[in-house]
Structure 1
Amino acid sequence: MRIFKEPIPYQNPSLCMKVWRFTDSSKERKSSNTWHYHNEVEFILVEKGSHEMQTPNHTYTLNAGDVMVIGSSQLHTGRKLSDNDLSYIVLHIDFRPFFDPAMMMYYRHFLEILHPLEKLNYIFQENERVRNDIARMISETHEEVMDKKKGYEIAVSMHIKYLLLMLLRYDTRELLTSQSHVDADVDVIRSLVTYVDEHLAEKIDMGAASQLAGMSYSYFSKYFKKKMGSSFTDYVNQKRISKAERLLVTENRSVNEIAESVGIENMAHFYELFKRFNGCTPKQYVSKMNGRIN
């Protein structure tokens, strides 16, 4: 099983996105492509034919007109279904530059703190109008980037902001709004999220995090749990295990080495955490991933 972190070369660095149409006239593939992941959120629109997308826990069959979203750093893979021609558009986006001051209050909803964006695919399955609108935005974004007419950067920014609006407005299960207490502290939360992401391989000290937030140790502990819905320690452990999941299938290293690389030196603790978040051992997880692409 080959898995890798896919680099996404932006067509316009100032827009922090890439959109491309893929066509495939080959025979149906019996097995999936290589598992991969990237920092950017990915939208897929199937224009013709049938395409299967897999994540560690779900398999999606996409036909003409169907769309789906894959969250940041989410492992995924795909394969062509049937011998008919396949055409689809893939849109990769780093959302951060699109949150201007007027939108910043909503930035917290897309941090994927409690729920991966993949869970929002229920919207496209249940709401035909939203699915059609998102499909149109993806198609028009591709057209704007390919044609590069005057002002296309404005048009693309508007389309992406519309995507964000549709996800936020039609999330009837309120998965995006579960972080309802972050409100005006989004800059503090963003700094803390970045700090944790950049120091996962090291010992993450809550004292250093509290200093970053400009708070006392005791106040920070209560503050973080209120704002994020989990303790700081639980949040860090969740991020460590998420990274370990990717490393298990991207790196040819032992479980011990991977545990150490995500800052967990006690193997019993690593196995306990991994099973808590995945319901299986690291070895079982890798076996599951192998089985899903065969």
Structure 2
Amino acid sequence: MNKDLLSKLGTITEEEQSILNGEKVINRALYYSAEASKNAEEIDSARVLKNGRLIDMRPHVRFIHFPKHTHNYVEFIYMCSGSTRHIVDGQEIILKEGDLLFLNQHATQEIFPAGENDIAVNFMILPEFFDVVLPMMGAKPSALREFIVSCLTRKDMQSNFLYFSVSDVVPVQNLMENLIWNMLNADKNSRTINQATVGLLFLNLTNHAELIHVPSNSFEQEITLKVLSYIDASYKTASLQDFAASEGDDVYTVSRIIKKETGETFKTLLQQKRLERACNLLTRSGAPISDIAVSVGYDNTSFFHRLFRRVYGCSPRDYRLKNSALAGHMHEN
């Protein structure tokens, strides 16, 4: 991370100076609502987000134990340097430099004291922020992207956190540094820049689903992430039988999990991915439609045409003519 930025984040805050001067517990007035009892655990978004903001950021307070708590917002933590120890829903997580930890509104978190060089930033996000960000991530839905977002917003998920070990993923590190810089400086158009940056962050994270960790008690979410990542990477040849065999599970179990967690069957998810890729090729390339069909996994071109028309209400050729920036400059096959 940029040295000047890291130095700014590492500046001892007034809250931290009080701790260094002997304060033994956190200042509840900074985190909990005025009406909350001394035993309340829920940190209030009204305390930690500036008025009217859907997303805000603050450095993690060091030098003190932060007792078990929940949030009425989505939080993600980025480890800028050093490490921090967390207990989330009873499971220990050691965040190392470059790691990301996402917590939904239902996660219970406890944080152990961090040292001076253990610098982390907390991003506080209201759920409606995702309503703004998702459309910026492309018109075509991504089942993997939607699933990750659902883990952060739905109440009926098995687990309440996702842990991304992405310290070696350069685009993610660059985006996090840009996001922190933008939020610290609040230049013109900062809100739009922040939204676009988070959108790009999610796009990059979905490209590295193999680096996403879910709680050890969340087998079904782990399988779903693996399935969606498998479809994204191997849509041309993907099959439910092959995936189940690679995981040592039976087809029925995997099929049931996919339907429960995503609301769709493996066949539908695979079809969506193939057609999404076909649409991209139709609008961005001049390749013959028959070649595009084969490249996304449909050797039977007639079947591809029928399926495409059923889903989109037009032929692949008409879709290309309506949507391609290259329309009028290509010879159709």
> What interval of TM-score do these two structures reach, taking the shorter chain for normalisation?
0.3 to 0.5
For CA contacts below 8 A with separation 6 or more, give which structure has more relative contact order: 1
Larger gyration radius, structure 1 or structure 2: 2
The normalised TM-score by structure 2 is: 0.36
Query: Given the two structures, how large is their TM-score scaled by the length of structure 1?
Result: 0.41
